[in-house]
A and B are shown apart, each in its own frame.
Chain A
Amino acid sequence: MWEYSEKVKEFFLHPKNVGEIENPDAVGEVGSMICGDALKLTLRIDKETGRIIDAKFQTFGCASAIASSSVLTELIKGKTVDEAIKITNRDIAEYLGGLPKEKMHCSVMGREALEAAIVNYMGERRPPEAKEKLICQCFEVTEEKIRRVAIENHLTTVEEITNYTKAGGGCGSCIPQIEEILKDIWAIKIPEMPKVKKRLTNLQKIALIQDIIEKEIRPRLQADGGDLEVIDIDGKRVIIALRAMCVECPMGGVTIDNIQEKLRELVDENIVVETG
């Protein structure tokens, strides 16, 4: 038994905006009966203002698919097309008070239908199917969709991809490909915002250096049987003494370089670490 929120139950038992708009301004159809869920979204759009005046849906699927579709229509009604396109699958799931994780694909289907309807309204042609690489044969999921959903929802595991797109949930033969795609997506490091370092007073600097040495550096050395002691901090010069196993260690020089690098990263880029 799925744990559905009260909101999901309410929208499933009494769905709003059921049906089909006659002569609609936009139609979005996604899914198929074979896959187990399908959604047809029809919109009435005011040409002058670009505002969605009415939205109706028809869904073949489980309770959460019906509820997600109904919520989608509620969310977009009254919005302009430009505003509506910003709605994500997470907005749908959140409005419903959350969905069981295995059911997130229902919210993704809602978002896809919206996208398809807007593309239809704009008169854009969908890129030819041939270009899209089909990854999951069982549920007809393309690489493009996996990438988009993974990035939008910050998904990092195959299981999450399956929950959100169904890909990999059938015969499972595409799982290695999904793993590759995920590796590829998350290998690109998002450049971190450079940290704005506040100017520190001498006392603050000393306290910070001691803190880093105590909490980050010494425990690591101790784990290898080594240790160190801070002899003095003089301006940008940090004078330390290696202790225990570190004393005899031929890698002592490297250790000091590493400590210096860490302190330069976290405190001040001009710090020099010396042994006393």
Chain B
Amino acid sequence: MVIKTEVCAFSDTRIYPGHGVRFIRRDGQPITLFSAKCKSLLKQRKKPAKLTWTQAWRRLNKKIKVEEVTRRRTRKTTKLNRAIVGASLEEIKKKRSQKPEVRSAQREAAAKEVKARKAANKAAKGSAAAMKAKPTASKQKGGNTKARGGAKR
């Protein structure tokens, strides 16, 4: 059977049933005290950290082992490489291991290529339109380009 004990607010001693005083302060806060000695010293406004026989002093002067409250470790999310559609694991790894400069260069090259392709397409279309309506081609073209820009955004 475990006996329910309380802890003295001044000296940190355990208080067994039938002992101790619970003093209720003016603001309604109860203070449990072990003995009349503790009560007297508390009323004199003594600091327990300055009296050698209290646990507070012993803790301050490193006479007892202080159990540090270990913080719970938060789980960190670990990154894991997995194969995605269209790119196997090895491919991703290969790309990762490349230097960033090389990669950026590659990307630029790819972008340029796409641009060139688009430009070529445009040119082809433009020529087709020009063929259809020759005299007002320049005006129409201007209007067309503006409209396209709006749609893109």
Instruction: Answer whether A and B are interacting partners.
Output: no
Binding site for A on B (CB under 8 A): none
Binding site for B on A (CB under 8 A): none
